[in-house]
Amino acid sequence: MANNNYASIVDDIHPTRGVRFSMYAYIRPEVDKTFSCAQFVQYLQQSKTRFTWGDLHGTGELLIVPLPTYLESWVDGGNYNDAYITVNTFASRGNMINNVKDIYQKSDVVDFYYKGSDEYVGID
């Protein structure tokens, strides 16, 4: 993902559960976007199909963009190369509730933390 080669994760998408994208550490299964492997590939290619991903923290504005735009701008895989990686613990503590372990109770969770930008005082 760091090289914007999003198709490279296709083999890692769960065959029945798909892949879920949540904008924040508070998982909302009823509204978060979940794609099957086939849907993920389809929407990578159909880059004009827009999805409502959720509302932006602080402004409340909806983020409505195609999958490739979401991956490039929101997931921002380039930062993963310099991330501090933890398993089943979280390096960052903000004011948002993190319910990842509640939603994925029988799973190991990998956290890729990076400091964030000076522009947003590290909270991005």
Instruction: Kindly report, residue by residue over 46-74, the tens digit of the pLDDT.
Output: 888 999 999 987 788 999 999 999 998 88
Give the HSE-up count for residue 3: Cα atoms under 13 Å, Cβ half-sphere: 4
- 38: alpha, beta or left? (left if phi > 0; alpha if psi -120 to 50): alpha
pTM assigned to the model: 0.81
In the prediction, which pLDDT does 84 show?
85
Do the Cβ atoms of 17 and 37 come closer than 8 Å?
no
Q: How far apart are CA 19 and CA 49, in angstroms?
A: 18
Q: Give the dihedral of Cα atoms 67, 103, 80, 37; nearest 10 deg.
A: -40
Predicted local confidence at residue 123, as pLDDT: 62
User: What are residue 113's DSSP bridge partners?
Assistant: 84
Cα 34 from chain centroid (whole Å): 11
List pLDDT tens digits, range 80-119.
Answer: 778 888 999 887 767 788 999 999 999 998 888 877 677 7
